[in-house]
Chains A and B, each alone.
Chain A
Amino acid sequence: MRKSGRSVQTRLLAALTLTVLGVGLLATVAAFWFAYSEAQEFQDDNLRQVALLGKLADRSALVGSEEDTDARIRVLPEAGRTLPVWVPKHLTEGFHTLTMADGDKGRVYVRHSRPGGQMVLIVQSTQSRNEAALENAWWTLVPWLLFLPVLLWLIVHIVRRELAAVRTLSHRIDQQSADCLEELPVEQVPDEILPLVEAVNRMMVRVNHVVLHQKRFIADASHELRTPLTALSLQVENVERAGSLPLMQQRVAMLKIGIERLRRLTTQLLDLARLQLQGLEPERILVSDLVREVIASVLPLAESRQIELELQLDADPVERIDVATFRLVVHNLLENAIKYNRQAGQVRVRIAMEGDDLVVDVADEGSGIPADQRESAFRPFFRLAGQETEGSGLGLAIVREAADRLGGTVVILDNSPASGITVRYRQSPDRESSG
């Protein structure tokens, strides 16, 4: 399997985790800061209240124990003493931060007992204040730090669960055999990947269709190969048993016809297979040149059946076309027209232009194909009932396949009132190359 940064799950988890950690960090800093400031303010309030209390009650009751180092609040001046030297002479009422005798900083609340009278200072060590505020702030972080792992675990779990549908789907696809693809169920599929699953299902239908088509073709082809093989094996055995030389020669002649039939069938099967695989290499050719060449190649067959061939040029176009594929069209049309013609009949090839379309007609004088069987005549191994000629039934199938490859069409037309049929190949100009 390919490992890449494209896993939705990994990316989703990374993004969510980073977001949670980032936002969490900001929230932590903010919470810490608020808790810290809150604690400072709270302690200032304490100082002020101590000062207010100091008016009402015995001052000594207000002084914390010397041992209470945590939140030591001192009231100055102490009983019977004057203010220490680090206290400036004139201080306004309110909060001040002063450096004390021991060099430590102190938070001081100043109060004048009466205007112009003696100052009272409520002093607290800044260090102890900060310690208290920090402690307070740290405690606000505890729930957050406790729940962060839970949150991360939940994120991983939820993402995994939601993406399980994708894993299930890919597992199902892995399980499929290439023979027949089953469509994927769409009931449990999330809306977001439903279009993808539906597209995959449509593709499966198409692939199944092609596979079925190919399977049927292979089954038909292997069945069709048995017939000439059976004839061949019988013919060989007949040769073996021939008692005399003339008899043997006569039987060898039959054998040769049998071999020719098998050769033709395999050639046609290969033609059909190649058509489905090979790419096209269009080149500009004079259509009549190619048709002449094909006519020359079928002349011996035509002469053996006293069939007269005729080429009629209503136009003499130059076309951009794949020669090998186009030759298959013309060759198979001509061969069919000769084979299924009446004895001493005529085959007429006509090249014409209809608008921008190239039209090649091949007309015979045979017994024709009934209108209701004309479409099935293009199926591989089709043969008309009661047909005397030993064809492979592949000629028109090759023509159809080749026409499809070239982007052309092929139809069977009546020659009425004359006998026979015309098979018409029509090709519209290739828009890409003509433009």
Chain B
Amino acid sequence: MRLLLIEDDVMIGEAASQALRDAAWAVDWVRDLRAARLALQAAEHDAVLLDLGLADGDGCELLQQLRKSGNAVPVIIVTARDNTPDRIRGLDLGADDYVVKPFEIDELMARLRAVMRRKNGQALPILDNGRLSLDPASHEARSAQGHFILSAREFALLQTLLQAPGRIFSRGQLESSIYGWGEEIESNMVDFLIHALRKKLGAELIRNVRGAGWYVEKSASGDIGG
């Protein structure tokens, strides 16, 4: 899952990027609105963390433009402005949530998971296609073969697949959900992760279409025990 972090404070930017990477997000971090616009054009993000007081303007401007252009990417405002009018304005402009600094990273993660669920139209926190389930909070995956705690990257890849069961993801798409900008992409990482996941959960659960990419089956009423 790829996330755009818009934060002008270097220290917070670095620390938050680290924390998000630890939680298996691919993070692109920018420090001003101009760079944020470029980043949003260059790549598809699954979520945006938006600081409001930026050097070249207010984060709300970007939010407004984003929603006007029809981009529905989940946006969480992360700011030191804690008064109610600011919150109301941010939410009315189309933010999905509002977090006040200083915040605990666990809370931010929980809110991120919540907006991701809403984005995907899920009421339940667990991603599930009937044969394979994944708990985004605990990084725990379950299949007929048992349950496993996944590594950060295994989780990121499986989460991407399970959020759109039936959709085929290319190698590039999967890589971009694992790596942020500036991170070196290891050439066989996708193959390596898929191999590891299949080994743990069952070979037939992640399918491959030669030349196209990988997918998990759409929610079938199939039995897990099969």
A residues with a Cβ closer than 8 A to B are: 223, 226-235, 237-238, 241, 251, 254, 257-258, 261, 385-388, 390
B80 touches A234 (CB 8 A): no
Q: Confirm or deny: B55 has a beta carbon within 8 angstroms of a beta carbon on chain A.
A: yes
CA gap between A212 and B106 in the complex, in Å: 38
Chain A to chain B: the 8 pairs with minimum beta-carbon distance, closest first = A234-B15, A230-B102, A231-B11, A226-B80, A230-B101, A229-B102, A231-B12, A385-B55
Q: Return chain A residues, CB-CB under 8 Å to B9.
A: 227, 230-231, 390
B15 touches A223 (CB 8 A): no
- Interface residue stretch chosen among B16-24, B120-128, B164-172, B213-221: B16-24
B19 touches A234 (CB 8 A): yes
Contact A241/B19 with A226-B102, A230-B80, A385-B55 known, Cβ cut-off 8 Å: yes
- In the complex formed, the residue of A with least CB distance to B11 is A231
Q: Return chain B residues, CB-CB under 8 Å to A254.
A: 11, 14-15, 18
- In the complex formed, the residue of A with least CB distance to B22 is A241
Distance in Å from the Cβ of B148 to the closest Cβ of chain A?
Answer: 18
Q: Return chain A residues, CB-CB under 8 Å to B102.
A: 226, 229-230, 232-233
Residues 1-41 of B contacting A (Cβ, < 8 Å):
9-12, 14-16, 18-19, 22, 32
B32 touches A234 (CB 8 A): no
Q: Confirm or deny: B105 has a beta carbon within 8 angstroms of a beta carbon on chain A.
A: yes
Q: Confirm or deny: B184 has a beta carbon within 8 angstroms of a beta carbon on chain A.
A: no
Contact A234/B56 with A226-B80, A241-B22 known, Cβ cut-off 8 Å: no
A257 touches B56 (CB 8 A): no
Q: Confirm or deny: B181 has a beta carbon within 8 angstroms of a beta carbon on chain A.
A: no
CA gap between A288 and B138 in the complex, in Å: 63
Q: Confirm or deny: B192 has a beta carbon within 8 angstroms of a beta carbon on chain A.
A: no
CA gap between A400 and B55 in the complex, in Å: 24
- In the complex formed, the residue of A with least CB distance to B101 is A230
B15 touches A386 (CB 8 A): no
Distance in Å from the Cβ of B116 to the closest Cβ of chain A?
Answer: 20
Q: Return chain A residues, CB-CB under 8 Å to B16.
A: 234
Q: Return chain B residues, CB-CB under 8 Å to A227.
A: 9, 12, 80, 101
- In the complex formed, the residue of B with least CB distance to A387 is B55
B104 touches A233 (CB 8 A): yes
Distance in Å from the Cβ of A71 to the closest Cβ of chain B?
Answer: 99
Partner of B11, one of A226, A261, A388: A261
Distance in Å from the Cβ of A334 to the closest Cβ of chain B?
Answer: 23
B103 touches A230 (CB 8 A): yes
- In the complex formed, the residue of A with least CB distance to B9 is A227
A233 touches B103 (CB 8 A): yes
Q: Return chain B residues, CB-CB under 8 Å to A233.
A: 102-105
Contact A257/B104 with A234-B19, A237-B19, A386-B55 known, Cβ cut-off 8 Å: no
- In the complex formed, the residue of B with least CB distance to A232 is B102
B14 touches A237 (CB 8 A): no
Partner of B101, one of A226, A235, A386: A226
- In the complex formed, the residue of B with least CB distance to A242 is B22
Contact A238/B32 with A230-B12, A231-B9, A390-B11 known, Cβ cut-off 8 Å: no
Q: Return chain A residues, CB-CB under 8 Å to B56.
A: 385-386
Contact with A along B83-117 (1 / 0, CB 8 A): 00000000000000000011111100000000000
CA gap between A258 and B18 in the complex, in Å: 14
CA gap between A42 and B188 in the complex, in Å: 144
A238 touches B19 (CB 8 A): yes
Q: Return chain B residues, CB-CB under 8 Å to A241.
A: 19, 22
Q: Return chain A residues, CB-CB under 8 Å to B10.
A: 388, 390
- In the complex formed, the residue of A with least CB distance to B53 is A223
A237 touches B104 (CB 8 A): yes
Q: Return chain A residues, CB-CB under 8 Å to B106.
A: 237
Most chain-A CB neighbours within 10 Å: which of B15, B55, B101? Answer: B15
Most chain-B CB neighbours within 10 Å: which of A232, A238, A385, A386? Answer: A238
Partner of B12, one of A234, A237, A388: A234
CA gap between A42 and B58 in the complex, in Å: 106
Contact A258/B15 with A230-B80, A230-B101 known, Cβ cut-off 8 Å: yes
Sample (8) of A-B pairs whose CB atoms are under 8 Å apart: A227-B101, A230-B9, A230-B80, A235-B15, A237-B106, A238-B15, A238-B19, A386-B32
CA gap between A387 and B56 in the complex, in Å: 11
- In the complex formed, the residue of A with least CB distance to B12 is A231
Distance in Å from the Cβ of B31 to the closest Cβ of chain A?
Answer: 9
B15 touches A231 (CB 8 A): yes
- In the complex formed, the residue of B with least CB distance to A235 is B15
Partner of A251, one of B12, B18, B32, B81: B18
Partner of B105, one of A226, A229, A234: A234
CA gap between A234 and B11 in the complex, in Å: 9
Distance in Å from the Cβ of A252 to the closest Cβ of chain B?
Answer: 12
Q: Return chain A residues, CB-CB under 8 Å to B18.
A: 234, 238, 251, 254
- In the complex formed, the residue of A with least CB distance to B80 is A226
Distance in Å from the Cβ of B36 to the closest Cβ of chain A?
Answer: 14
- In the complex formed, the residue of B with least CB distance to A234 is B15
Distance in Å from the Cβ of A234 to the closest Cβ of chain B?
Answer: 4
B104 touches A258 (CB 8 A): no
CA gap between A363 and B181 in the complex, in Å: 39
CA gap between A241 and B104 in the complex, in Å: 13
Q: Return chain A residues, CB-CB under 8 Å to B81.
A: 223
CA gap between A229 and B12 in the complex, in Å: 9
CA gap between A385 and B22 in the complex, in Å: 31
- In the complex formed, the residue of B with least CB distance to A257 is B11
Q: Return chain B residues, CB-CB under 8 Å to A238.
A: 15, 18-19, 22
Distance in Å from the Cβ of A110 to the closest Cβ of chain B?
Answer: 112
CA gap between A388 and B11 in the complex, in Å: 11
Distance in Å from the Cβ of B77 to the closest Cβ of chain A?
Answer: 14
Q: Return chain B residues, CB-CB under 8 Å to A257.
A: 11
Q: Return chain B residues, CB-CB under 8 Å to A258.
A: 11, 15
CA gap between A261 and B55 in the complex, in Å: 20
Distance in Å from the Cβ of B126 to the closest Cβ of chain A?
Answer: 23
